[in-house]
Structure 1
Protein backbone atom coordinates (compact mmCIF):
# COMPACT_ATOMS: atom_id res chain seq x y z
CA UNK A 1 0.00 0.00 0.00
CA UNK A 2 1.32 3.43 -0.92
CA UNK A 3 2.17 5.60 2.06
CA UNK A 4 0.07 8.74 2.46
CA UNK A 5 2.16 11.90 2.20
CA UNK A 6 0.23 14.54 4.07
CA UNK A 7 2.77 16.04 6.47
CA UNK A 8 4.31 19.29 5.24
CA UNK A 9 7.92 20.05 6.12
CA UNK A 10 10.01 23.14 5.73
CA UNK A 11 13.64 23.93 6.46
CA UNK A 12 16.33 26.41 5.49
CA UNK A 13 19.31 25.33 3.45
CA UNK A 14 22.23 26.94 1.66
CA UNK A 15 21.99 27.82 -2.01
CA UNK A 16 24.71 25.22 -2.64
CA UNK A 17 22.62 22.49 -0.96
CA UNK A 18 19.55 23.50 -2.98
CA UNK A 19 21.55 23.30 -6.22
CA UNK A 20 23.00 19.91 -5.26
CA UNK A 21 19.51 18.60 -4.44
CA UNK A 22 18.11 19.93 -7.71
CA UNK A 23 20.90 18.34 -9.75
CA UNK A 24 20.80 15.01 -7.90
CA UNK A 25 17.01 14.72 -8.15
CA UNK A 26 17.10 15.48 -11.88
CA UNK A 27 19.84 12.89 -12.42
CA UNK A 28 17.77 10.24 -10.62
CA UNK A 29 14.52 11.38 -12.30
CA UNK A 30 12.92 11.91 -8.87
CA UNK A 31 11.27 14.81 -7.14
CA UNK A 32 13.41 16.58 -4.58
CA UNK A 33 11.20 15.40 -1.73
CA UNK A 34 11.31 11.80 -3.00
CA UNK A 35 15.09 11.89 -3.20
CA UNK A 36 15.41 13.20 0.36
CA UNK A 37 12.96 10.57 1.64
CA UNK A 38 14.83 7.79 -0.18
CA UNK A 39 18.20 8.94 1.17
CA UNK A 40 16.95 9.23 4.76
CA UNK A 41 15.29 5.79 4.76
CA UNK A 42 18.41 4.25 3.17
CA UNK A 43 20.57 5.92 5.84
CA UNK A 44 18.35 4.58 8.62
CA UNK A 45 18.45 1.07 7.13
CA UNK A 46 22.27 1.16 6.88
CA UNK A 47 22.66 2.40 10.46
CA UNK A 48 20.15 -0.05 11.92
CA UNK A 49 17.69 2.67 12.88
CA UNK A 50 14.26 1.07 13.12
CA UNK A 51 11.53 3.31 11.73
CA UNK A 52 8.05 2.10 12.71
CA UNK A 53 5.57 1.60 9.88
CA UNK A 54 2.99 3.58 11.85
CA UNK A 55 4.57 6.68 13.39
CA UNK A 56 3.67 7.70 16.92
CA UNK A 57 2.23 11.18 16.71
CA UNK A 58 3.69 13.61 19.21
CA UNK A 59 2.22 16.92 20.25
CA UNK A 60 4.52 19.89 19.60
Structure 2
Protein backbone atom coordinates (compact mmCIF):
# COMPACT_ATOMS: atom_id res chain seq x y z
CA UNK A 1 0.00 0.00 0.00
CA UNK A 2 1.32 3.42 -0.94
CA UNK A 3 1.27 6.03 1.79
CA UNK A 4 1.34 9.82 1.70
CA UNK A 5 3.08 12.18 4.07
CA UNK A 6 0.96 14.54 6.14
CA UNK A 7 2.70 17.34 8.03
CA UNK A 8 0.67 19.35 10.50
CA UNK A 9 1.02 21.58 13.51
CA UNK A 10 -0.93 20.63 16.61
CA UNK A 11 -1.34 21.90 20.15
CA UNK A 12 1.31 20.20 22.33
CA UNK A 13 -1.39 19.03 24.77
CA UNK A 14 -3.26 17.28 21.95
CA UNK A 15 -0.03 15.69 20.75
CA UNK A 16 0.63 14.33 24.23
CA UNK A 17 -2.94 13.04 24.50
CA UNK A 18 -2.51 11.31 21.12
CA UNK A 19 0.78 9.80 22.28
CA UNK A 20 -0.85 8.39 25.43
CA UNK A 21 -3.92 7.12 23.55
CA UNK A 22 -1.69 5.41 20.98
CA UNK A 23 0.45 3.88 23.71
CA UNK A 24 -2.61 2.49 25.51
CA UNK A 25 -3.86 0.92 22.26
CA UNK A 26 -0.40 -0.37 21.24
CA UNK A 27 -0.47 1.77 18.09
CA UNK A 28 1.75 4.41 16.57
CA UNK A 29 0.46 7.97 16.64
CA UNK A 30 0.18 7.85 12.83
CA UNK A 31 -1.92 4.67 13.00
CA UNK A 32 -4.15 6.20 15.70
CA UNK A 33 -4.74 9.32 13.59
CA UNK A 34 -5.54 7.18 10.54
CA UNK A 35 -8.02 5.16 12.61
CA UNK A 36 -9.69 8.31 13.96
CA UNK A 37 -10.02 9.78 10.45
CA UNK A 38 -11.56 6.53 9.16
CA UNK A 39 -14.01 6.43 12.09
CA UNK A 40 -14.97 10.07 11.56
CA UNK A 41 -15.55 9.54 7.84
CA UNK A 42 -17.67 6.47 8.54
CA UNK A 43 -19.84 8.40 11.04
CA UNK A 44 -20.26 11.31 8.61
CA UNK A 45 -20.97 9.13 5.58
CA UNK A 46 -17.79 10.17 3.78
CA UNK A 47 -16.51 7.44 1.48
CA UNK A 48 -12.79 6.79 1.35
CA UNK A 49 -11.73 5.84 -2.18
CA UNK A 50 -9.79 2.63 -2.65
CA UNK A 51 -6.13 3.13 -3.49
CA UNK A 52 -6.61 1.78 -7.03
CA UNK A 53 -9.20 4.53 -7.59
CA UNK A 54 -6.61 7.15 -6.68
CA UNK A 55 -3.47 5.71 -8.28
CA UNK A 56 -4.73 3.20 -10.84
CA UNK A 57 -3.97 -0.49 -10.86
CA UNK A 58 -0.15 -0.69 -10.64
CA UNK A 59 -0.15 -4.40 -11.57
CA UNK A 60 -1.39 -3.59 -15.08
CA UNK A 61 1.08 -0.81 -15.90
Q: Give the TM bin, normalised by the shorter chain.
A: 0.7 to 0.9
Matches within 5 A, 1:1-60: 4-54=1-51, 56=54
1:5 deviation in Å?
A: 4.1
Higher gyration radius (CA): 2
Normalised by the size of structure 1, how large is the TM-score? 0.78
Unaligned runs of 5+ in 2: 56-61
Q: Deviations over 1:15-58 (max 9, x none)?
A: 1011101000001110000000001001111111111113547x
| Number of aligned residue pairs | 54
In 2, Cα distance between the equivalents of 1:56 and 1:5? 10
Answer 1 or 2: which has greater helix percent: 2
1:13 deviation in Å?
A: 0.7
